[in-house]
Amino acid sequence: MPQSREALQEKRKNLSSWLLSLPTMIWLVCFFLVPYLIVVFYSFLTPDIYDVKFEVSLDAYRQIFTSGYLQPFFLSFKLAIYTVLICLLLGFPVAYYMARASEKLKNTLLILIIIPFWTNLIIRIFSWRIFLSYSGVLNEALMGLGLISQPLEIMRTNLAVILVMVYVYLPYMILPLYSVLEKLDFTLLNAAMDLGANEVKAFFRVTLPLAVEGIFAGTLLVFIPALGAYLIPQLVGNQRSLYVGQVITYKVKNIPRNWPMASALSLTLLLMVAILLLIMYAIYRRHLARRHY
């Protein structure tokens, strides 16, 4: 009976794929799902100086939307949006240039972009501190050249945070953009120009729409980590404007501790990212559907 044999095969295939994904599943459940459930559980408890009291309370959530906690969210979103936009503006021309470069130059440029990853992030951020500080390399150089008479106060400002954020996350924007632009058929641009589009029109009507997937991927890769940024604001920013990541850390680190608040903030951030992802995914799906792929 061919049908039952097919059914059997199907069954076996399902079983084997299930077995193969089992280790990952176990890993995800133990180290991802369960910890998150603990976070969810803690967010509904009452804070104590060091720990929590096991009394159910919605205070944490209430506080997020009533007291000054919205400010860090606002700051974090602003930072993430700026970072994405600047990375996009800087990254696109770089990715475009790389995509059109000769095979040899392409590889060299790719390696140059990847090399910074070989150095620890914290070391790179500290280099920026030395570079930007009041009597740092940048100020010394500018004063030496006579361009400024007084050192610029860049360190410990939001500008410094954005600068370093862009520096760290730029490769995450360039690489996906490069991968779509590299596949782009550049004779399409010739075709557009042949049909009467100048360089600008050809870019907006052909290059950009065909790079949308890379823009989506790069935006996600930069936006999500930028939203929860902790290390960079902590090391080059100031303590007057705190970002969500910092606030969460302080709630856990500083005494009196507030585990429920930290948990609630984390979950709120997660929820916002999830909603944003869903919206972007919907837009992306619609974009794909339009193209019948």
Partner 1 sequence: MEDIILQNISKDFGTFRAVDEVNLTIKSGELFSFLGPSGCGKTTLLRMIAGFETPSEGSIYLGNKDISDLPPYKREVNTIFQNYSLFPHMTLFDNVAFGLKVKKRPKTEIKDRVQEMLKLVKMEDQAAKYPDQISGGQKQRIAIARALINKPRVLLLDEPLAALDLKLRQHMLIELMDIHDAVGITFIYVTHDQGEAMSISDRLAVMNQGKVVQEGPPDDIYERPSSIFSAYFIGETNLITGDVHKVYDDYLELHCPDGTGNILALDSSFHKPVAEQSRITLSLRPEKIAISRHKPRHQDDINIIKGQIEDILYLGSHTQYIVRVGNLKFRVFSQHKRVYFDDKALDWEEDVWLFWHDTDTWLIEDNPFEVLADAELDDSGNLKRYVKRSKI
Question: Which residues contact partner 1 by CB under 8 A?
Answer: 185, 187-188, 190-198, 201, 205-206, 209-210, 291-292
Distance of closest approach, residue 195 Cβ to partner 1, in angstroms: 4
- Residue 47: beta bridge partners? 52
Pick the closer one to partner 1 by CB: 116 or 209: 209
**DSSP string covering 181-226:** HHHS-THHHHHHHHTT--HHHHIIIIIHHHTHHHHHHHHHHHHHHH
What does the DSSP 8-state code read for residue 30?
A: I
Pick the closer one to partner 1 by CB: 101 or 152: 101
Distance, CA of 73 to chain centre: 15
Distance of closest approach, residue 106 Cβ to partner 1, in angstroms: 20
Distance of closest approach, residue 206 Cβ to partner 1, in angstroms: 6
Pick the closer one to partner 1 by CB: 240 or 291: 291
Q: Can you tell me the distance from the alpha carbon of 130 to that of 119, in angstroms, rounded to the nearest whole number?
A: 16
Pick the closer one to partner 1 by CB: 192 or 227: 192
Distance of closest approach, residue 190 Cβ to partner 1, in angstroms: 6
Q: Can you tell me the distance from the alpha carbon of 35 to that of 250, in angstroms, rounded to the nearest whole number?
A: 20
Distance of closest approach, residue 191 Cβ to partner 1, in angstroms: 4
Q: Can you tell me the distance from the alpha carbon of 197 to that of 1, in angstroms, rounded to the nearest whole number?
A: 62
Pick the closer one to partner 1 by CB: 62 or 201: 201
- Phi first, then psi: give them for residue 191, nearest 5 degrees: -60, -45
